Every structure is written in C-alpha cells, then in structure tokens.
Amino acid sequence: MNVAAASSSSAPLGLLAQPTRFLFFTGKGGVGKTSLSTATAIALADAGRRVLLVSTDAASNLDEMLGVPLSNQPVPVPGVPGLSMLNIDPDNAAEAYRQRVLAQLEATATEDERATVHEQLSGACTTEIAAFDEFAALLASEGADADHTFDHVVFDTAPTGHTLRLLSLPKAWTGFLAGNDRGASCLGPHSGLKMQEARFNAALAALSNPALTTVVLVTRPDPRPMQEAARTAVELRALGLANQRLAINGVFRASQPGQDPVADAIERLGREAMGQMPDALAQLPRDEVPLRAFDTVGLPALRALLGGDVVPPATPAAAAGAALQAEPLAALADTLAAKGHGLIMVMGKGGVGKTTIAAALAVGLVQRGHSVHLTTTDPAAHVQSQLDGSLPGLKVGRIDPRAETQAYIDKIMATRGKALDDAGRALLLEDLQSPCTEEVAVFHAFSRVVNEARTAFVVLDTAPTGHSLLLMDATGAYHRQMTQQYQGSAGGAMAKHIITPLMRLQDADMTHVVIVTLPEVTPVSQAAALQEDLRRAHIEPWAWVINKSVAATGTSDPLLQARLVGERKQCERIEQGLAQRTFVLPWLTEPPVGVEALGGLVTADGLLSH
C-alpha cells in the first residue's frame, strides 16, 4: 500500500497500518533511525502488540532515549506495556560465542590448545560474526524469541555501510559454509560456524520473505542521505530484501514564509531534495515526519514524534544558557598546519558532517602549503563527491574493502600459496573467501595509512562510530598479538622496539583525533561515549567541532528558535569539561560542496559565539 503521509503533527507512519513481523530501520547516520524505530516500537506496543526493540549499533543510544540500561537480554520498558528492549552488544556476544566454540573442543584438549583457540577468537572478525549470530537467532526465532513471544521485532540498525554488511552476511556465510567441512577457519574451529549453518539459512529466508520483513529506508530531505538511501535500496533488493518503504524525517516548513532567510533556505533545500528524489526512492511507499521543536528523548517526546501524544512544551529562548566561546574552523586548520605532519582522524556519529569537516581541513592544509592525503574508511564513502574537483597538492584515496580484500588474497596466494600444490592452493583460497578476510584486509590498509603520517599529513574521514570502534578493536588485537609474540627471553629485547599502529594512534605528537558533533543531545552523548572508548585505548581526543550551529545564524523562526534552546544546552555541556578545544561551523544556507566552497570554511576570520 502506497501511503504518503502528510506532514501534519497528527499523521502516523503509513507502515503502522500493516506492519510485518520484522521491521528494519536503516539509513545514513544522523537521519533519525533510532528516533523513528523507537517511536514505531512504542506505537505498536501502545496498540496492544508485543514488541521487541533491538539495537544492532555498537554506538547505540537507546538507553538515553528510553531511560533503560542497555542489556543483551530483553528488558521491559517502563511506561510502555508490551515493549521490551535488547542491545546486541558486540563484546558480550563475542564472549558467549567463544564459550560455545570452546565447549565443543574434545575433553582431551590441553590448556595450551584451549588458550590458542581463545586467542584465535579474540579479534574484530569474531566480534562481528558473534554479533551477527545473535541477530540471526532473532530472525530464526531462536534465543530471545524462541517461542514467538513477540508479535514484532523492530531493528534499530547501525549506519548504512555497516548495516549492508550485516544484512549481506547471511548470504555470505551460507555460501562460505556450503560444502566446507574442514576443521578450521579464520575463526578457529570451523565447527563453531558449521553448528550455526541452519540458523544462517533460516535468517536468510526470513530476510527475503516480504510477508515477514520490511526495510524502512530513513532519510532527511537532503540530497546526500537520499542518494545513499537510493543506493541502499538497490543493494538490499539485490540481496533479496524487496519489501521496502521510505521515511523522510525532519521535513521543515517555515513558520513565517518570506520573513526569515535562514528558515526559507532550509525549507527550499528540503523541497528541492524531495523534488529531485532518485527513482529508486520515488517508487517506494512514503511517509514524511515533520521537524520537531524538541529533542526525541523520553516517552512523551517519542510518542509526540509520530503525533501520538501531546508535544512537550518548548522552553523560552530567554532561558538559554551562557554563550559557548568556540573558534572558527580556520583556527583549527592554522593550528594543525603548524605541526608540519601527522594523522588527523575525523570521527563521530554518522550524519554529523565528518566528511565535510575532513575535506575542509584537508583543503585548508593545502592552502597553507602542505601536501595532504585525504582518505576514508567509511563503506559509504563521499569524500570525492564532497570535493567535486581536484586541487594541486591534495591526494584523495579510499580504503575500499573489496579492493583491499582482493589485494590481500592475491598477496597471500603469492606468498603462502607459492609452495603449495594445486589441492593446497585450492584449500587456501577457499579459506580466504571467508567474510572475515575483509576485516583483516581493511586493517592492513589502515595500518599503511597510519604509517604514512610519519612524514606527511594524512586526513582520515572515518566510518560512523560503531564501525570505527571495530577497526580500533582490530588495531588493539594486532598490538596484543605482536607484543605477546616477541615476549620472553629470546624476543624480549626486540619487543621493546616494536611500534604498532595502535602505538602511533596513542602518540599525541603524531595523531590528532577531531570529534565532530551536532549541537543536539544524541550526537553529543555519542561523541562523549566515543571519547571514553578512545581514552580506554589510551587515545586522547584533541578537539571537538560543533557543526551546523543554528544559533550562529541569527534565525527568528519560532520552531528553529525553540530548537536553539536545546542547542545552547548542549554547547554548555561541551564547554563544561567534554572538549579540550572547541571549534564551530554555523549552519550554512548552501551545502559546502566543491574545493572552493570547502576552502571558504577554513579562511573565515573572527570568533563565532553562541
């Protein structure tokens, strides 16, 4: 049923009329997947359904939205009878997976053999497949939903690139396991995967069944997330997920047309984006959700998001806090340029503008006389389209998982496979077809980029938070492996001279982590959580950038003024201890696409204050 909901506050999502059992919300980071998936789950529960809300995002903030601690077991949500929440925590899933595999070892296995297997299962690859295993169990109606306790399972997924990999894993692993009955793989004992083969097949069948599964592609009225949503629609259809809907979140209409240029520009850009929507989206059933004056935190706000409750009252603008003194992006470029070389890692939640900030800093460093390599680890890479041109002294690259995987396979076949006979080479190649190989290959490419920054500037536009943390996990696992390998009487002296990629990331003279956020509660909370994760790895963030500040525009639109109150609160929060250095970029009436526009972001003078 093609339902194009009006943008009035009383129009619920059309998908609520005939919801399937499994509902996946996916899209570019920052478009509102968590808000819409949570509001949908609440609406279904309020209608008398039994609902399980599941987060597959390593950087989930469901706990903050609902005020319920995250757990890898279903937890009832107070105030919403019938709704439970579950977080697929990668670390907990990985430990449970290790224990299941270890339990299969023969009773005669020695402690050394068990320790070896445990070490084999300690990397990011195991973390990914273990998290997927939990995800697949829900689709196969096992584990938390073995007895069909829930009428609906709503998935709040990680940003697009990571989600595409997650949803492609059933097909990848069923293909890898078919006919492969050897005793080992990159995950240690191969039986640890073989025992899950039936589960993977059931998960694939559920995903491909339009009567069971709906994918909700969430976007903003903005060309870039729409383009990404369109690509996702095509890729998911190729994977067999054809039952799709579109949800356009944050649709804005100026309160006083013609009286506020900022409000008029926001509305115009939104209308233009929706008018030029890619065909892959235009043909889908569609819902529009209006921009709200409030942050979607807490049950009243989440119910109000879909028009199902009274809108929380806005705080008068006069109640806003003190101004945040933050320098412009030009000052950040000046400070970094003075260092002469190094790795600049631009990190943050999806959708906060990491690519824009990374590209602008790269252009700014070139303007200041340096050669720069701008690259990305994001599966949904947008660096080249952001630049929309070239600049002498600027090299643009990408850590492409597919290309890196093939190069890695070719290298292993040319070295380890060189001395093998045809049968041995065939077995080695079969093992390298595992989806885990991609994680190893991407890590090696990342390590090369880190090493390059010893003598030049490298600006790294990272993947959204959850995916980047998995890469950090791989970096840490490699560090532990290398230091353990050279410990002991023979290698102790050598161990002192090893410099791993992790050690370079921990070197404050070489690596500068710039965390990008929007002045909104969820992005700031996730930026703070990312900062703590980095600190646990002994990597200290160097600066924060507040992107798309509406306060700096001087808008008079009532709805934007109401949102500005929340912005000021988050700026105060950042000022009171979160960031060592803070820089700000105002909301712009024209997207900064192209080398010239990006250069303008890092040449402005003066202090921007809130």
What is the rounded CA–CA span in Å between residue 50 and residue 426?
49
| 3 state SS of 541 | coil
Q: Given the structure tokens 């997927």, which residue do they identify?
A: 132
Interior angle at CA 258, CA 254 and CA 261, nearest 5: 75
- pLDDT of amino acid 521: 80
The residues facing 54 across adjacent strands are: 86, 155
- Contact at 8 Å (CB) between 313 and 265? no
pTM for the predicted model, two decimal places: 0.67
- Contact at 8 Å (CB) between 527 and 349? yes
Q: pLDDT (tens digit, 9 = 90+) per residue, 40-50?
A: 999 999 999 99
Long-range contacts at 392-399 (CB < 8 A, ≥ 24 apart): 392/366, 393/366, 394/362, 394/363, 394/366, 395/371, 397/373, 399/375, 399/442, 399/445, 399/446, 399/449
Pairing mode of beta strands 286-290, 75-76: unpaired
* 197: CB partners within 8 A, 6+ apart: 174, 177
Domains of the chain, start order: 14-308 (3.40.50.300), 325-609 (3.40.50.300)
Phi first, then psi: give them for residue 459, nearest 5 degrees.
Answer: -105, 120
- pLDDT of amino acid 471: 52
CB atoms closer than 10 angstroms to residue 78: 11
What is the rounded CA–CA span in Å between residue 338 and residue 100?
52
Residues of the chain whose pLDDT is less than 70? 1-12, 57-60, 90, 104-108, 116-129, 131-132, 142-148, 158-198, 200, 308-325, 378-381, 434-436, 439, 463-504, 604-610
- Contact at 8 Å (CB) between 387 and 359? yes
CA dist list (Å): 118 to 98, 122, 234, 378, 469:
7, 6, 39, 30, 21
Q: pLDDT (tens digit, 9 = 90+) per residue, 238-288?
A: 878 889 999 999 999 988 888 888 889 889 989 999 999 999 999 999 999
Half-sphere exposure of residue 228: CA atoms within 13 angstroms, side-chain side: 27
Closest residue by Cα to residue 512 from 543, 547, 469, 479 = 543
- Contact at 8 Å (CB) between 364 and 333? yes
- Contact at 8 Å (CB) between 49 and 82? yes
* HEC profile of 193-228: HHCCHHHHHHHHHHHHCCCCEEEEEEECCCHHHHHH
Measured torsion, CA atoms of residues 430, 232, 201, 407, in degrees rounded to the nearest 10:
10
Radius of gyration (C-alpha) of the chain in whole angstroms: 25
CB atoms closer than 10 angstroms to residue 375: 24
Helices (H), 47-190: 62-66, 90-103, 111-120, 124-139, 160-177
Pairing mode of beta strands 83-87, 75-76: antiparallel
| 3 state SS of 305 | helix
What is the rounded CA–CA span in Å between residue 94 and residue 116?
16
**What does the chain come to in residues?**
610
- pLDDT of amino acid 58: 61
What is the rounded CA–CA span in Å between residue 273 and residue 225?
10
Catalytic positions, written as ranges = 30, 32-35, 57, 522
* 324: CB partners within 8 A, 6+ apart: 546, 568, 571, 572, 574, 575, 582, 584, 609, 610
What is the rounded CA–CA span in Å between residue 434 and residue 424?
16
What is the rounded CA–CA span in Å between residue 294 and residue 346?
28
- Contact at 8 Å (CB) between 84 and 51? yes
What is the rounded CA–CA span in Å between residue 528 and residue 517?
10
What is the rounded CA–CA span in Å between residue 256 and residue 425?
70
Tokens (6 digits) for 169? 């894993």
Closest residue by Cα to residue 27 from 272, 271, 284 = 284
Q: Is the dihedral of CA 137, 93, 78, 214 positive or negative?
A: negative
